[in-house]
Chains A and B, each alone.
Chain A
């Protein structure tokens, strides 16, 4: 299987499902950390109302290049617009929340 995907069912009561793509480098430390950090943020702030696709750049490097990814881990918010990108292991939660448009919203 080339593409990794986690799809959380969206909450019909919520207005907009956040669609994200996280590019990782196999089981490299920052990549593992980024997945864990993002899952914690989603758990706390999105409560299942999100779709997250995890793409391993060792498996799909051309796709990552086509999407303009230069380094990994790299998180891209695809919708709702505006699109946004965060690079790194996502340990800076406020930066991730800002990119996801969640800053200032209570969990």
Chain B
């Protein structure tokens, strides 16, 4: 994304600049309906045919900048000035869609992502003749592209978005530069690295020793924590891929959880009905991973 801050000329506190920018917007919004839409406050950006760019309206830009409490928990822990420094260095909003691949194993990590609470990203590894398997789940508690923070530019796993959601992202090179001056971010990423390694370790053991039903319960709880919602949108095929089992295995496990009235599912929507009951059905791995994240 190269056009999130095309209004930099108008970012000045000088009133003349603001007036000029308002006139510029009026020129672009040449019909009454568009002007009404802008005045309603229900639009974010306007397209400029002359430059071929999208321009964020001041209110939307301010809302993004203000964002007093970033939805991502790593960013939320940063001092205000450090967060502002990241925004100034190119941290920008992006919408991701289901199945969008953020990086592939062996490829350069070009962008890093801080998911908001609407987005889940799976870190997935592939084994020849056995398909894919999720080795970690990243949501609003984490960051995608963590190797970049350790000075490693190449991905070892695939990172794939698990639904439509938003994130803040940044070019990897600019992130590395900014990280050098952001001490709170460094500390937050050290803690997150520890927690992520713990998650990967526990997931490896879980995949080997635990039954599908307990693993499914564990996964649903982890997803729910990260989305901060009891509604999770997933198909059985997709869950089977993530858990490394056949679709029928997920269907049987989901049916068992539904019969116990712990969840309800239909058409790719899974709703957690009884969180405590689901915890009781999950393997120990859920609580272990959660405890490490909470203490990190």
Min CB–CB distance A100 → chain B (angstroms): 18
What DSSP secondary structure best describes chain A's contact surface? Answer: mixed
Q: How many contacts between A and B, using CB within 8 angstroms?
A: 128
Please judge, given known A-B contacts A61-B52, A72-B54, whether A26 and B95 are in contact too, CB under 8 Å.
yes
Is B3 engaged at the interface, CB distance under 8 Å to the other chain? yes
Selected from A29, A32, A62, A71, the residue in CB contact (under 8 A) with B46 is A71
When the two chains form their complex, are residues B38 and A71 in contact, meaning their CB atoms are under 8 A apart? yes
Selected from B38, B49, B56, B118, the residue in CB contact (under 8 A) with A25 is B56
When the two chains form their complex, are residues B63 and A61 in contact, meaning their CB atoms are under 8 A apart? no
Selected from B29, B166, B168, the residue in CB contact (under 8 A) with A71 is B29
Q: Which residues of A contact B46 (CB under 8 A)?
A: 70-72
With the chains together, A59 CA to B266 CA distance in Å?
33
Selected from A27, A29, A48, the residue in CB contact (under 8 A) with B94 is A27
Size category of the B interface is 35 or more
With the chains together, A62 CA to B2 CA distance in Å?
13
With the chains together, A26 CA to B60 CA distance in Å?
11
When the two chains form their complex, are residues B166 and A27 in contact, meaning their CB atoms are under 8 A apart? yes
Selected from A25, A36, A43, A88, the residue in CB contact (under 8 A) with B54 is A25
Is B64 engaged at the interface, CB distance under 8 Å to the other chain? yes
Tell me which residues from 206 to 239 in chain B have a Cβ below 8 Å from any Cβ of chain A: none
Is A81 engaged at the interface, CB distance under 8 Å to the other chain? no
With the chains together, A16 CA to B101 CA distance in Å?
31
When the two chains form their complex, are residues B3 and A28 in contact, meaning their CB atoms are under 8 A apart? no
Q: Which residues of A contact B164 (CB under 8 A)?
A: 4, 6, 35, 39, 54
With the chains together, A89 CA to B269 CA distance in Å?
24
Please judge, given known A-B contacts A1-B100, A64-B54, whether A73 and B43 are in contact too, CB under 8 Å.
yes
When the two chains form their complex, are residues B96 and A28 in contact, meaning their CB atoms are under 8 A apart? no
Who on chain B is nearest to A36 by CB?
B118
Please judge, given known A-B contacts A4-B100, A6-B164, A70-B34, whether A26 and B47 are in contact too, CB under 8 Å.
no
Min CB–CB distance B136 → chain A (angstroms): 21
When the two chains form their complex, are residues A65 and B1 in contact, meaning their CB atoms are under 8 A apart? no
Who on chain B is nearest to A7 by CB?
B98
When the two chains form their complex, are residues A59 and B28 in contact, meaning their CB atoms are under 8 A apart? no
Tell me which residues from 14 to 58 in chain A have a Cβ below 8 Å from any Cβ of chain B: 24-32, 35-36, 39, 43, 47-48, 54, 56-58
Residues of B within 8 A of A (CB): 1-4, 28-29, 33-34, 37-38, 40-47, 49, 52-54, 56, 60, 63-64, 92-98, 100-101, 116, 118, 164, 166-168, 267-269
Q: List 30 A-B contacts (CB under 8 A).
A: A6-B98, A6-B164, A24-B44, A24-B95, A25-B54, A25-B60, A26-B95, A27-B94, A27-B168, A28-B44, A28-B93, A29-B44, A29-B60, A29-B63, A30-B43, A30-B44, A32-B118, A32-B166, A48-B268, A54-B97, A54-B164, A56-B95, A58-B2, A69-B47, A70-B28, A70-B46, A71-B38, A72-B43, A88-B37, A88-B40
